[in-house]
Amino acid sequence: MPFIVLAPSLAASFIYVFVFTIWTFYISLSDSSLLPTYGFVGFQHYISIWANQRWQIAYSNLFLFSALYVVFAILIGLGLAIAIDQRVRGEAIWRTIFLYPLAVSFAVTGTVWAWLYSPNAGIEFFVRNLGWTDFTFRLTTDRRLAIYAVIATGIWQSSGFAMALFLAGLRSVDPDLVKAAQIDGAGMFRIYRKVIIPTIAPIAIAVTVVLLQFAIKTFDLVAALTNNGGPGVSTTFPATYVYDLMFQRGQIAEGATAAILMLAALAVVLVPYALWLVWRRRAESGHG
Amino acid sequence: MVDAAIRATIDDAAASAAARRHFAGRVGVYAFLTFFAFIYVLPLFVIVANSFRELPEIIQNGLIGFPHSFSFKAWSTVWNSYCVGGTCAGIQHNFFNSLEMTIPATIISTMLGLLNGYILSKWRFYGSEVIFTCMMFGVFMPGQISLMPWAFILGQVGLANSITGLVLIHCVQGVSFTTLFCRNYYINIPDDLIKAARIDGAGFWRIFFKIILPLSPPILIVTVIWQFTGIWNEYLFGVVFTAGRAQPITASLVGMATGGTNVRVYDVMSAGVLIGAIPPLLIYFFGGKYFVRGLTQGAIK
């Protein structure tokens, strides 16, 4: 009985994970253009893609985005968590404020931020109206700066997530340990450094992995914020590149190649993390 | 005597210095939180305010400002008559599309997840751990990998450009999440409970309905909230596999906001964007605790 009940989901997941991946992989090795065809051409798309200027922009954007996004989301998230953990009044209200962006789609938040970044109605307009008439703040219309608008919006959306996890971590720190350290004369800074930070370091790693995963999959944010990679192609990401090649330009094989490279990037992040988790679990059960 | 008095004064001075430092610290903490809270609330404030302001006022005073006018015009326009993708019937179709997609997909994937989690934790068999691990790959797969295969399959079974097709996609994709949540929850239910029931002659379904399901409300709520918000907010599959009136609301909103017109009807679009955000926001404000629980579980496990 159990196996019969499990079978449909199992079959569906199997097809979804393995058949679809192999299928897309095969398309990436084919001569598909407007429609998928199955003439085998080998790995030539995997070589030619690195010479494609747009793909170069896409992956360098991904590196820049990932680095700044992860670092600042963690720093801000940790800062907020520590502040909220100081027994502030209205804790639930603060938490609700910092987490709500996560409940809402980027189709919503990306659109609103696009307006706020726009010079003739948003933040620039507002500050100029306050009297600072040569204030300029036009991230999304500048090819060099647009990527920072994407990064800032990403950080805005995800810091709350880091905060929630860090706050849970701070709450799990043994209060007796902190008291003992205080009695020994350790200052607040020292206590954070020696007692609390080590306890929440595993959380920082988990947050990093999850955020890197978000970063690699970044698509709706860019679609809503900079109209799929604008201005020009300056905010192209791997995910928007896949979409564009498959559905706008009819270069399906190249699109599939980029999709497989996205999967490879995810594997680079997730496989070491999974191994680390297994290793840690072994180590823990070994000790006790 | 004098000595004691001096000591008391010194203590007092030290205490008040500490209190001052403490006070400064408190102010710092609140200032820090308020600064970030301002940035966080600003976008929400902007769309809520602008959905009630009139367009000339927005154009003149900018998006950031307190409303001087108040009307519901933008709401009725965007709901009933705004032109999206060639038809001028508002976004109500897209809103209902999203409901028609999200509700069945949430129910089906959650039910499957409950059963799968139950089996993979309480009816383990040779290879069930391997099966669980394989299903988990589905959690991390980027949607882009599945676009071409889905396009082919949906075309073959006649579900291209339909909400039913999206329901199918979200069920298959969602089942790995729901299975993960439920399995990790059920693993903490003592096996002895199940063993005792089996000795009493209870079968697979009886144990599920009499023991497992009554213990499930906490994980049920987490899973439903997670699936509902995730599917409602999903954009990629919506924009790839549907067009025009068949699109879910996320896809139509992005199409609207980035569409060709140069004149930005901020009032109408604010109302539209807000309509797209209301269902997940309501769930978040009323079920926030469970939403956060889902986040932390989804992230760490």
- CATH number assigned to the domain comprising residue A59: 1.10.3720.10
pLDDT mean over B166-178: 94
Task: Answer for the pair A83, B33: CB distance below 8 angstroms, yes or no.
Answer: yes
pLDDT mean over A25-40: 85
When computed from its CA atoms, the radius of gyration of chain A, rounded to whole angstroms, is 23
Q: Which amino acid is located at B74 in the chain?
A: A
Encode burial over B223-254: b for 16+ CB neighbours within 10 A, e otherwise.
bbbbbbbbbbbbbbbbbbbbbebbbbbbbbbb
Q: Which residues 6+ apart lie within 8 Å of A128 measured at CB? A: A134, A135
Task: Answer for the pair A16, B177: CB distance below 8 angstroms, yes or no.
Answer: no
How many residues belong to chain B?
A: 301
Residue B185 falls in which region: left (phi positive, over 0), alpha (psi -120 to 50) or beta = alpha
CA dihedral for B139, A76, B253, A219, sign (positive or negative): negative
- Among chain A residues, the shortest Cα distance to B134 is held by A14
Domain ranges for chain B:
2-71, 89-300
Query: Under an 8 A CB cutoff, do B148 and A96 touch?
Result: no
Total number of domains constituting chain A? 1
Indicate if the pLDDT at residue A121 is higher than 60. Answer: yes
Give the domain extent around A239. 52-287
As a whole-number percent, the residues of chain A with pLDDT over 70 amount to 99
- At A243, the pLDDT band (50, 70, 90 cuts) reads very high
Is B31 an interface residue toward A (CB < 8 Å)?
A: no
Peptide bond into B149 cis (omega under 30): no
Quickly count: other Cβ atoms within 10 Å of residue A102's Cβ.
20
ipTM above 0.90, yes or no: no
Q: What are phi and psi of B242, to 5 degrees?
A: -135, 160
Q: What is the pLDDT of residue B298?
A: 64
Task: Answer for the pair A61, A151: CB distance below 8 angstroms, yes or no.
Answer: no
pLDDT mean over B269-275: 92
Helical packing angle, B128-140 and B163-186, nearest 10°: 130
B276, B42, B285, B228: which is closest to A100 by C-alpha?
B285
Query: Under an 8 A CB cutoff, do A259 and B145 touch?
Result: yes
Report the gap between the CA of B277 and the closest CA in chain A (Å).
6
Burial class (CB in 10 A: 0-12, 13-18, 19+), B150: buried
Q: What are phi and psi of B117, to 5 degrees?
A: -60, -40
Q: Which residue has the higher pLDDT, A10 or A133?
A: A10
Q: What's the rounded Cα separation, in Å, for the pair A140 and B255?
A: 18
Q: Which residues 6+ apart lie within 8 Å of A199 measured at CB? A: A169, A172, A173
Q: What's the rounded Cα separation, in Å, for the pair B298 and B180?
A: 8
Residue A141 forms part of a structural domain: yes
Burial class (CB in 10 A: 0-12, 13-18, 19+), B164: middle
Residues B119-128 pLDDT 10s: 999 988 888 8
Give chain A positions within 8 Å (CB) of B43. 101, 109, 112-113, 116
Say whether pTM exceeds 0.80. Answer: yes
Q: What is the pLDDT of residue B129?
A: 85
Is B29 an interface residue toward A (CB < 8 Å)?
A: yes
How many residues belong to chain A?
A: 288
Question: Which residues 44-73 on chain A approach chain B with CB closer than 8 angstroms?
Answer: none
Indicate if the pLDDT at residue A61 is higher than 90. Answer: yes
Report the gap between the CA of B1 and the closest CA in chain A (Å).
30
Distance of CA A73 to the CA centre of its chain: 10
Residue A113 forms part of a structural domain: yes
Q: What is the pLDDT of residue B132?
A: 87
C-alpha distances (whole Å) from A71 to each of A68, A211, A273, B244 are 5, 10, 18, 39
- At A288, the pLDDT band (50, 70, 90 cuts) reads very low
Q: What's the rounded Cα separation, in Å, for the pair B46 and A122?
A: 10
Q: Which residue has the higher pLDDT, B43 or B264?
A: B43
Indicate the SS3 state at residue A40.
Answer: strand
Q: What H or E segment, with its residue span, contains residue A241?
A: helix A238-243
Indicate if the pLDDT at residue B260 is higher than 90. Answer: no
Q: What is the pLDDT of residue B262?
A: 47
Task: Report, at the CATH architecture level, how domain B89-300 is classified.
Answer: Orthogonal Bundle (1.10)
Give chain B positions within 8 Å (CB) of A113. 43
